[in-house]
Structure 1
Amino acid sequence: MPAHRQASLDELGRPLSDLTFVVVDLETTGTSAATSEITEIGAVRVRGGEVLAEMSTLVRPSAGIPPMVSVITGITDAMVATAPAEAEVVPTFLEFARGAVLVAHNAPFDLGFLRAAAQRCGYPPPAWEHLDTLRIARRLVSRDEAPDCRLASLARLFRSSTEPCHRALADARATVDVLHGLFERLGNAGVRTLEELHEYSARVSPAQRRKRYLADGLPTGPGVYIFRDADGRALYVGTSRSVRSRVRTYFTASEPRTRMAEMVALAERVDAIGCAHALEAEVRELRLIAEHKPPYNRRSRFPERTVYLKLTDEPFPRLSRVRAARDEATYLGPFASTRGADDAADALLAAVPLRQCTGRLSPRARRPACALADLGRCGAPCDGREDVAAYARHVAAARAAITGDPGPVIAASTRRIDRLAGERRYEEAAVHRDRMVSFVRAAARGQRLAALTRIPQLVAAAPTAQAGWDLAVVRHGRLVSAANVAPGIDPRPWVDAAVASAETVRPQPGPAPCASVEETERIARWLAGSGVRLVRLDGEWSWPAAGASRDALRYAELHRSPDSPEQAPGRRAEGERPRR
């Protein structure tokens, strides 16, 4: 069922012409808000280019005004002797600025003093939305037009009717004229709303900015967006909690990734798919990237390139590096690279004497043993020293280390590391350490995947910031249905509807029976999130208490390999889910 959602003002965009601005300027006894005080406040309230009201007052500080400050501003101790105190002025200004966007030239300075004064008067620190004319001018005004971006220079450039003179109201009036001059330039650049102004960068080319209309009509909630060229080919797939706002930034904000500017230049349209919540958007993004393989996406384009180590199904099994995992054999992984797979294989073979020859062996055939047999690293089933039953003990040990406790592999690696370190062969010791970590992480990853993919159906709910619920139905590690329940509504009928409308899946053999590994891992991280509740569960969700996740946490601080998931393995799930 589609979730109806009213767009917020931030997502729709607030036109600059409809907003009320309070342009403020302060004179102070010094430059630090922590040790100095306000001596004068000047403010002008404007909207749509018209002045609505003005406020100006001197403020009596608790200490004298430094002589140098008096020289600059012209404000003396005698002038402020009968002025109202800070505690009288601050409430008046807060009321004057209510509901408006504050504007100042070098806004951090003025806002810092205003916040400090409000706190001293017992008010909570105001969280004003604000604009800084200094910062905007640095984006719009070139050195050929003005030598610098000081208020006096900008006032001359924009022909202000008031000359700045270090008095608060005069400077505020001059800042109003500068603000309107900057707005005129922004309008010529296509910036019409406050959101576009916050995102604006002069480094965006005019051609790129002209394409901002491609964001019109896109969903304002979570979803997936697809940039397409003139032939309809997918160029880039992305996701956002507010699709329209995110797509708009490609045309108004400076993008540090050069390939994104190239992509926008080629784009002719943007398609979007609205989603119930962020998890559904992330999953759809992964599926679309894997399907279309957009040239400007770097990650998740080739899920089929993952690598597994397979314990082969034959009389004398061995480890085989494979791309596809489509049967009921035991698999270690997946790995993002063959190097990671080889490192994990070396760690396992150092602990378990599986054969390393690649040919298929028959119990009735005999052939000479290799050097590994003489080194004690293989039982030599090839020449008959081990029969099928004896060799099966090694296979069972390897399978137990992959699917359960990796302790034997860790113990064997640790002994070798300690011996090498004792001989001061530290580089070799580090190599064996990295192999061990590669095995442990791969085993933990596989065990977590297996725990989720063997569940026929799982229904979970995550609380939203608005006191509603995000629902997800997962079958064999695949997201098959998603819904969003609005606040104050009984979620149980929505759960029934989500289950009834869920996609039917037929699990295939292998570690990822219904979805890509990355999709299942995204779902697992969402399920381990704060506040997520299991609503329905067919079967059990558990992994070995002495499994690899426990040991993966121990090595989480070591360098990350390309095969490591984004989050340390099982960091949150370890403490929240029952384990066998």
Structure 2
Amino acid sequence: MAPATVPAMSSSTLPDVGAGVQLSFADLGTPLRDVTFVVVDLETTGSRADDSGITEIGAVKVRGGEVLGEFQSLVDPGRPVPAFVARLTGITTAMVATAPGIELVLPSFLEFAHGAVLVAHNAPFDIGFLRSACAALDHPWPGFTVVDTLPLARRVVTRDEARNHKLSTLATLFHARTSPEHRALADARATVDVLHGLLERLAPLGVTHLEDLATAADPVPADVRRKATLADGLPRSPGVYLFRGPDDEVLYVGTSTNIHQRVRSYFTAAEKRRRITEMVRIAHAVTPVVCATPLEAQVRELRLIAEHAPRYNRRSKHPERQTWVRLTDEPYPRLSVVGDVVGDVPHIGPFTSRRTAQDAVAALHDALPLRQCTQRLPLVARERRSPCALAGLDRCSAPCTATTGPDVGYADVSAAAADVLTGDPGPVVRALADRVGRLAAQERYEEAGQVTARLRAFVRGADRAQRLDPLSRCRELVAARPTATGGWEVVVVRHARLAATGVSGPGEDPWPLVEALRATAEVVEAPAAPAPASHPEEADLLLRWLDTPDVRLVAVSDPWTCPVRAAASHADLDDVAAAVALATDDVDSMDPC
């Protein structure tokens, strides 16, 4: 099988779906003119299927406006026909006394309707009785697609045209050739003409395929529903789709395991986002990008959003705007919030915002006496200076006062900071957990919450960096995962960037695919670790995929390891919860394990 690589994205790499593509009928949908409908109507002894019986079944089979056949039979309900029902339908107990029972009529009807779409006016009533009869006879319900003409009529027939949406009223409105008279076959014939009249009105609204009928009764604006034709011809495969507007502008980028089905949902009541409805109104085309796997689709989506910055996407459109916390490279290092990874010094992040990064810095300052001043200090001060207020509070070791030689104590502080940034954050977790416990014991819960938020920001930033760092440094990693069909999904990752991916068929030897992917994979330049050579969200996607239990490592060019006592071991902040429980003597809240 030919490998599927993931090159750098550009508009020129997107396929022209209008040229040289042979679409299947499944991709196009089923035009209503090609659908076989069986319009059915029942007469019964009552309104509830659990305590009433069927007295008559009538059905008409139609396709493309042509009647293909009819079905009609009285049914012995196994009970007397109530007088009011007899007056309404004309069906008496004597008439059905010699009729076949439902156990004989139902199989014949199901055979008549096999492979068709069932249609009824107020379908829950008729279909409910049929399903109940199947259940009583231990006959499996075939799972028909069902179309109800009542909600369709409510969608397109206004009160100015008809006083109600009863079958008799609609039959008059659409000039049905048969008048409904509460007999099954006559009512089914009238419903056929009503169905055709409704479909004529729905066609200008974009309801032209069987799939459209499922949502035709939804309260969707007409101009939005008419855009449903944009989904015609889209593949039912995993991939990415791009809504395009005036001047071919990319308005929105999304991903799905079934492009056709997902795009169709934008033109139904299932889509409730006002901004997306606005986007659909100005869109004029949808471009699909078929992908070999859902992972590739997710990666392509991220890259296309970064490339086009669509105005209706809310995900990160500016991957270059990353926020990190670093230990500066100077005689007396300090913490700094930066936008890039610079130099071979400890970094944590990236953070979702500068504020979150500052919370992580505050957590480190709460635990370690790192200097917080921003000026660059010489190794030895030329003149003696007075220590700052933080030094008096034991929150800074005041290296600025070293006049007789380098401040050796600060070297220990900066080394401890480097250790918690790149290895075990336990000292910070324990220090802040102790502080949270004290604040909680004093009922200063708001302050305790602020300290916990700082600690959480630090732990998550350290965890993310520690997970990204080894993958970012790895020149090439090849992994594979078995597919549901018996093949293998193979990925090639270079410096935390998806460089190639492909899928082998069931029973195929995957090694030729592996070698082909490695030979054709994208060339990726080494980044400044721990920053990946990709959008951080792409690296997160790859890490989650690699963490799934059934993934096998095929080849790794460099060590791919994380610290034994890594930040991940504190990600749930159990230590904080334990400290609060101890401080407040709330023993019951602690995990007994």
Structure 1 window deviating more from structure 2 (101-110 vs 176-185): it is 101-110
Residue 275 of structure 1, CA deviation: 2.2
Residue 374 of structure 1: aligned partner: 392
* Paired residue type of 2:443: R
Check 1:101–1:115 CA distance in 2 against 1; reply closer, same or farther (3 A cut). Answer: same
Distance 1:94 1:227 in 2: 43
Asked if 1:168 is matched to 2:168, the reply is: no
Residue 336 of structure 2: aligned partner: 320
Matches within 5 A, 1:360-439: 360-365=376-381, 367-384=385-402, 387-439=406-458
Distance 1:525 1:150 in 2: 55
Residue 580 of structure 2: aligned partner: none
* Paired residue type of 1:310: R
Of 493, 496, 506 in structure 2, the residue corresponding to residue 477 of structure 1 is 496
Q: Secondary structure at the match of 2:160?
A: coil
Check 1:99–1:217 CA distance in 2 against 1; reply closer, same or farther (3 A cut). Answer: closer
Distance 1:222 1:51 in 2: 39
State the identity %.
54
Check 1:426–1:94 CA distance in 2 against 1; reply closer, same or farther (3 A cut). Answer: same
* Paired residue type of 1:371: A
Q: Secondary structure at the match of 1:309?
A: strand
Residue 293 of structure 1: aligned partner: 309
Q: Secondary structure at the match of 1:226?
A: strand
* Paired residue type of 2:145: E
Equivalent pair of 1:372/1:378 in contact (CA under 8 Å): yes
Bigger CA radius of gyration: 2
Asked if 1:517 is matched to 2:533, the reply is: no
Equivalent pair of 2:456/2:573 in contact (CA under 8 Å): no
* Paired residue type of 1:18: D
Distance 2:360 2:122 in 1: 57
Distance 1:95 1:79 in 2: 25
Equivalent pair of 2:254/2:301 in contact (CA under 8 Å): yes
Equivalent pair of 1:308/1:331 in contact (CA under 8 Å): yes
Equivalent pair of 2:475/2:526 in contact (CA under 8 Å): no
Equivalent pair of 1:229/1:235 in contact (CA under 8 Å): yes
Of 432, 442, 455 in structure 1, the residue corresponding to residue 461 of structure 2 is 442
Residue 565 of structure 1: aligned partner: none
Residue 169 of structure 2: aligned partner: 153
Distance 1:541 1:62 in 2: 74
Asked if 1:505 is matched to 2:521, the reply is: no
Check 1:89–1:325 CA distance in 2 against 1; reply closer, same or farther (3 A cut). Answer: farther
Equivalent pair of 2:27/2:234 in contact (CA under 8 Å): no
Q: Secondary structure at the match of 2:440?
A: helix
Residue 187 of structure 1, CA deviation: 2.5
Q: Secondary structure at the match of 1:497?
A: helix
Distance 1:347 1:70 in 2: 82
Residue 501 of structure 1, CA deviation: 0.9
Distance 1:122 1:72 in 2: 31
Matches within 5 A, 1:199-238: 199-200=215-216, 219-238=235-254
Structure 1 window deviating more from structure 2 (137-146 vs 36-45): it is 36-45
Check 1:201–1:45 CA distance in 2 against 1; reply closer, same or farther (3 A cut). Answer: closer
Distance 1:86 1:453 in 2: 70
Check 1:303–1:63 CA distance in 2 against 1; reply closer, same or farther (3 A cut). Answer: farther
Q: Secondary structure at the match of 1:303?
A: coil
Q: Secondary structure at the match of 1:283?
A: helix
* Paired residue type of 1:52: L
Of 472, 475, 485 in structure 2, the residue corresponding to residue 453 of structure 1 is 472
Of 356, 374, 390 in structure 2, the residue corresponding to residue 340 of structure 1 is 356
Structure with the bigger RCO (C-alpha within 8 Å, sep 6+) is 2
Check 1:179–1:321 CA distance in 2 against 1; reply closer, same or farther (3 A cut). Answer: same
Task: Quote the RMSD (CA, aligned, Å).
Answer: 3.4
Distance 2:333 2:311 in 1: 40
Residue 483 of structure 1, CA deviation: 1.7
Equivalent pair of 1:200/1:254 in contact (CA under 8 Å): no
* Paired residue type of 2:455: M
Tell me the alpha carbon deviations over residues 105-134 of structure 1, each in whole angstroms, 9 at most, x when there is no partner: 333443344334323333344332222222
Residue 8 of structure 1, CA deviation: 5.8
Equivalent pair of 1:7/1:220 in contact (CA under 8 Å): no
Distance 1:353 1:81 in 2: 97
Check 1:136–1:461 CA distance in 2 against 1; reply closer, same or farther (3 A cut). Answer: farther
Equivalent pair of 1:355/1:378 in contact (CA under 8 Å): yes
Q: Secondary structure at the match of 2:214?
A: helix
Distance 2:25 2:336 in 1: 57
Distance 2:572 2:127 in 1: 45
Distance 1:17 1:342 in 2: 63
Q: Secondary structure at the match of 1:317?
A: coil
Asked if 1:92 is matched to 2:108, the reply is: yes
Residue 17 of structure 1, CA deviation: 0.9
Q: Secondary structure at the match of 1:509?
A: coil
Unaligned residue ranges in structure 2 (runs of 5+): 5-19, 578-593
Tell me the alpha carbon deviations over residues 243-274 of structure 1, each in whole angstroms, 9 at most, x when there is no partner: 45544555677853333344345445544433
Check 1:363–1:530 CA distance in 2 against 1; reply closer, same or farther (3 A cut). Answer: closer
The alignment of Structure 1 onto Structure 2 pairs a total of residues equal to 557
Tell me the alpha carbon deviations over residues 124-172 of structure 1, each in whole angstroms, 9 at most, x when there is no partner: 4433222222232233222222233333332222222233344433332
Distance 1:43 1:512 in 2: 67
Residue 439 of structure 1, CA deviation: 2.1
Unaligned residue ranges in structure 1 (runs of 5+): 559-580
Distance 1:165 1:529 in 2: 63
Residue 206 of structure 1, CA deviation: 6.1
Of 198, 203, 210 in structure 2, the residue corresponding to residue 182 of structure 1 is 198
Asked if 1:279 is matched to 2:295, the reply is: yes
Check 1:268–1:539 CA distance in 2 against 1; reply closer, same or farther (3 A cut). Answer: same
